[in-house]
Amino acid sequence: MTTESQSLCTRSMQAPSSHHRRAWCPSFKLREVASMYCTMVAIFFIILVAALQGTAPSENHFPYKVPLDPEGILELSWNISYTEEVICFQLLIKELKYGVIFGMSDRGEFENADLVVLWSDGKNSYFGDAWTDAKGQIHLDSQQDYQLLKAQKTFGGLLLLFKRPISTHDPRDYLIEDDTVHLVYGFLDEPFPSLEAINTSAIQKGLQRVQLLKPNISKPTLPPDLENMEITAPNIIIPNQETTYWCYIKELPDHFSRHHIVMYEPIITKGNEALVHHMEVFQCAAEIEKVPHFNGTCDSKMKPEKLNHCRHVLAAWALGAKPFYYPEEAGLPFGGPGSSKFLRLEVHYHNPLELKGLHDSSGLRLHYTSTLRPFDAGIMELGLVYTPVMAIPPKETDFILTGYCTDKCTKLALPQSGIHIFASQLHTHLTGRKVITVLAREGRVTEIVNRDNHYSPHFQEIRKLKKIVTVLPGDVLITSCTYNTEDRKLATVGGFSITEEMCVNYIHYYPQTQLELCKSAVDLGYLQKYFRLINSFNNEDNGNYSNSSVKEQFASVSWNSFSRDVLKSLYDFAPISMHCNKSSAVRFPGEWERQPLPEIKVGLEEVTPQCQTTPGLSPASPALVNIDGKKG
Amino acid sequence: MTTESQSLCTRSMQAPSSHHRRAWCPSFKLREVASMYCTMVAIFFIILVAALQGTAPSENHFPYKVPLDPEGILELSWNISYTEEVICFQLLIKELKYGVIFGMSDRGEFENADLVVLWSDGKNSYFGDAWTDAKGQIHLDSQQDYQLLKAQKTFGGLLLLFKRPISTHDPRDYLIEDDTVHLVYGFLDEPFPSLEAINTSAIQKGLQRVQLLKPNISKPTLPPDLENMEITAPNIIIPNQETTYWCYIKELPDHFSRHHIVMYEPIITKGNEALVHHMEVFQCAAEIEKVPHFNGTCDSKMKPEKLNHCRHVLAAWALGAKPFYYPEEAGLPFGGPGSSKFLRLEVHYHNPLELKGLHDSSGLRLHYTSTLRPFDAGIMELGLVYTPVMAIPPKETDFILTGYCTDKCTKLALPQSGIHIFASQLHTHLTGRKVITVLAREGRVTEIVNRDNHYSPHFQEIRKLKKIVTVLPGDVLITSCTYNTEDRKLATVGGFSITEEMCVNYIHYYPQTQLELCKSAVDLGYLQKYFRLINSFNNEDNGNYSNSSVKEQFASVSWNSFSRDVLKSLYDFAPISMHCNKSSAVRFPGEWERQPLPEIKVGLEEVTPQCQTTPGLSPASPALVNIDGKKG
Instruction: Give the Cα-Cα-Cα angle B451, B455, B459 (nearest 5 degrees).
Output: 120
Q: Which of B27, B536, B616 sits opposite A616 (nearest CB)?
A: B27
**pLDDT score, position A5:** 44
| Residues contacting residue A149 through CB under 8 Å, at least 6 positions apart | A5, A8, A9, A49, A88, A161, A162, A163
Amino acid A579 reads H
Distance CA B598, CA B602 (A): 12
Closest Cα partner for A504 from A387, A373, A350? A387
Closest Cα partner for A120 from A555, A625, A544, A631? A625
**pLDDT score, position A396:** 97
Residue A2 binned pLDDT confidence (cut-offs 50, 70, 90): very low
Residue A615 forms contact with B (CB below 8 Å): yes
* Closest approach of B47 to chain A, Cα-based (Å): 26
Q: For the packed helices A561-573 and A524-537, what is the interaxial angle rounded to 10 degrees?
A: 160
Residue A265 binned pLDDT confidence (cut-offs 50, 70, 90): very high
Comparison of pLDDT for A608 and A409, the residue scoring more: A409
Residue B565 forms contact with A (CB below 8 Å): yes
Whether residue A145 has pLDDT greater than 60: yes
Tell me if A55 sits within 8 A of A3, measured CB to CB. no
Tell me if B149 sits within 8 A of B9, measured CB to CB. yes
DSSP symbol at B96: -
Whether residue A542 has pLDDT greater than 80: no
Whether residue A65 has pLDDT greater than 70: yes
Closest Cα partner for A130 from A69, A211, A200? A200
Cα-flanking dihedrals φ and ψ of residue A553, to 5°? -65, -40
Distance CA A248, CA B137 (A): 68
| Range of A23-37, A179-193, A271-285 with top mean pLDDT | A179-193
Q: Where are the beta strands (DSSP E) in A453-538?
A: 463-471, 476-483, 492-493, 503-510, 517-522
**pLDDT score, position B479:** 98
Closest Cα partner for A326 from A440, A226, A454? A226
* Closest approach of B533 to chain A, Cα-based (Å): 6
Whether residue A524 has pLDDT greater than 80: yes
Q: Looking at beta carbons, which residues of chain B come within 8 Å of A536? A: 529, 532-533
Cα-flanking dihedrals φ and ψ of residue A237, to 5°? -105, 120
Cα-flanking dihedrals φ and ψ of residue B524, to 5°? -65, -35
Tell me if B560 sits within 8 A of A573, measured CB to CB. yes
Amino acid B12 reads S
Amino acid A468 reads I
Whether residue A436 has pLDDT greater than 70: yes
Closest Cα partner for A572 from A350, A402, A447? A402
**pLDDT score, position B174:** 94
* Closest approach of A556 to chain B, Cα-based (Å): 19
**pLDDT score, position B166:** 92
Tell me if A373 sits within 8 A of A333, measured CB to CB. no
Rounded to an integer, the average pLDDT of A210-222 is 89
Whether residue B608 has pLDDT greater than 80: no
Distances (CA, A) of A212 to A81, A94, A173, A178, A217: 12, 22, 15, 7, 14
Tell me if A446 sits within 8 A of A601, measured CB to CB. no
Tell me if B115 sits within 8 A of B101, measured CB to CB. yes
**What is the residue-averaged pLDDT of chain A?**
85
Percent of chain A with pLDDT over 70: 85
- Residue A320, CB-side half-sphere exposure with 13 Å CA sphere: 24
Alpha carbon A596 to chain centroid, angstroms = 33
Distance CA B626, CA B120 (A): 11
Q: CA torsion B453→B457→B458→B460, rounded to 10°? A: 80
Residue B538 binned pLDDT confidence (cut-offs 50, 70, 90): confident
Mutation site for A-interface testing, chosen from B533, B535, B560, B568 by largest number of A Cβ within 10 Å: B533
Of all helices (H) and strands (E), which one includes residue B276?
strand B276-283
Residue B194 forms contact with A (CB below 8 Å): no
**pLDDT score, position A414:** 97
Q: Which of B23, B568, B611 sits opposite A28 (nearest CB)?
A: B23
Distance CA B632, CA B625 (A): 17
Tell me if A4 sits within 8 A of A51, measured CB to CB. no
| Residues contacting residue A280 through CB under 8 Å, at least 6 positions apart | A313, A315, A316, A317, A345, A346
Mutation site for B-interface testing, chosen from A21, A530, A562 by largest number of B Cβ within 10 Å: A562
Distance CA B521, CA B526 (A): 11
Amino acid A488 reads R
pLDDT digits (tens, 9 = 90+) for A170-208: 888 999 999 999 999 999 999 999 999 999 999 999 999
pLDDT digits (tens, 9 = 90+) for A461-472: 889 999 999 999
Closest Cα partner for B304 from B295, B312, B317? B295
Instruction: With CB atoms and an 8 Å threshold, state whether B27 touches A23.
Output: no
Tell me if A309 sits within 8 A of A277, measured CB to CB. no
Residue B18 binned pLDDT confidence (cut-offs 50, 70, 90): very low
pLDDT digits (tens, 9 = 90+) for B288-323: 889 999 999 988 898 898 888 888 888 988 877 789
Query: 10 Å Cβ neighbour count for B515?
Result: 22
**pLDDT score, position B614:** 42
Active-site annotation holder among A427, A429, A508, A579: A427
Residue B565 binned pLDDT confidence (cut-offs 50, 70, 90): very high
| Range of A311-325, A425-439, A570-584 with top mean pLDDT | A425-439
Rounded to an integer, the average pLDDT of B510-530 is 95
Residue B616 forms contact with A (CB below 8 Å): yes
pLDDT digits (tens, 9 = 90+) for A103-128: 999 999 999 999 999 999 988 899 99
Instruction: Give the Cα-Cα-Cα angle A521, A524, A527 (nearest 5 degrees).
Output: 100
Residue B511 binned pLDDT confidence (cut-offs 50, 70, 90): very high
Of all helices (H) and strands (E), which one includes residue B342?
strand B342-350
Distances (CA, A) of A40 to A27, A32, A35, B28, B399: 17, 13, 8, 20, 58
Mutation site for A-interface testing, chosen from B24, B38, B402, B537 by largest number of A Cβ within 10 Å: B537
Is the complex ipTM more than 0.85? no
Instruction: With CB atoms and an 8 Å threshold, state whether B30 touches A30.
Output: yes
Distance CA A12, CA A295 (A): 48
What is the reported pTM? 0.79
Tell me if A90 sits within 8 A of A76, measured CB to CB. yes
Query: 10 Å Cβ neighbour count for A551?
Result: 17
**pLDDT score, position B12:** 36
Rounded to an integer, the average pLDDT of A282-289 is 89
**pLDDT score, position B48:** 33
Q: Which of A537, A569, A615 sits opposite B565 (nearest CB)?
A: A569
DSSP symbol at B202: G
Instruction: Give the Cα-Cα-Cα angle A388, A390, A391 (nearest 5 degrees).
Output: 85
Amino acid B502 reads M
Rounded to an integer, the average pLDDT of B155-165 is 92
pLDDT digits (tens, 9 = 90+) for B191-214: 999 999 999 999 999 999 999 998
Mutation site for B-interface testing, chosen from A18, A32, A526, A565 by largest number of B Cβ within 10 Å: A565
Tell me if A375 sits within 8 A of A422, measured CB to CB. no
pLDDT digits (tens, 9 = 90+) for B94-128: 999 999 999 999 999 999 999 999 999 988 899 99
Distance CA B531, CA B550 (A): 9
Rounded to an integer, the average pLDDT of A336-343 is 91
Distance CA A524, CA A532 (A): 13
Closest chain A CA to residue B534? A533
Residue B143 binned pLDDT confidence (cut-offs 50, 70, 90): confident
Closest chain B CA to residue A612? B612
Comparison of pLDDT for A626 and A235, the residue scoring more: A235
Residue A496 binned pLDDT confidence (cut-offs 50, 70, 90): confident
Distance CA A508, CA A417 (A): 17
Whether residue B245 has pLDDT greater than 80: yes
Comparison of pLDDT for A498 and A168, the residue scoring more: A168
Which residues numbered 489-528 in B keep a CB inside 8 Å of some CB on A?
Answer: 526
Rounded to an integer, the average pLDDT of B403-407 is 98
DSSP symbol at B607: -
**pLDDT score, position B50:** 39
Q: ω into residue A327 within 30 of 0, thus cis?
A: no
Q: For the packed helices B561-573 and A561-573, what is the interaxial angle rounded to 10 degrees?
A: 180
* Closest approach of B30 to chain A, Cα-based (Å): 6
Positions of B annotated as catalytic residues are 245, 427
| Residues contacting residue A264 through CB under 8 Å, at least 6 positions apart | A281, A315, A317, A323, A324, A364, A365, A366, A367
Residue A18 binned pLDDT confidence (cut-offs 50, 70, 90): very low
Residue A444 forms contact with B (CB below 8 Å): no
Distance CA B411, CA B418 (A): 10
Rounded to an integer, the average pLDDT of B355-366 is 96
Tell me if A505 sits within 8 A of A427, measured CB to CB. yes
Q: Catalytic annotation on A245?
A: yes
Rounded to an integer, the average pLDDT of B14-24 is 35
Ramachandran category for residue A96: left, alpha or beta (phi over 0 → left; psi -120 to 50 → alpha): beta
Rounded to an integer, the average pLDDT of B559-585 is 92
Comparison of pLDDT for A187 and B49, the residue scoring more: A187
Percent of chain A with pLDDT over 90: 64
Closest Cα partner for A422 from A458, A455, A373? A373
The region of weakest confidence among A455-459, A542-546, B536-540 is A542-546
Distance CA B234, CA A221 (A): 96
**pLDDT score, position B607:** 60
Whether residue A20 has pLDDT greater than 70: no
Whether residue A499 has pLDDT greater than 60: yes
**pLDDT score, position A50:** 39
Residue B600 forms contact with A (CB below 8 Å): no
First to last CA, chain B: 16
The region of weakest confidence among A9-13, A389-393, B364-368, B476-480 is A9-13
Instruction: With CB atoms and an 8 Å threshold, state whether A26 touches B22.
Output: no
Q: Looking at beta carbons, which residues of chain B come within 8 Å of A529? A: 533, 536-537
**What is the residue-averaged pLDDT of chain B?**
85
Residue A21 forms contact with B (CB below 8 Å): no
**pLDDT score, position B42:** 37
Paired residues of B561 in beta bridges: none
Percent of chain B with pLDDT over 70: 85
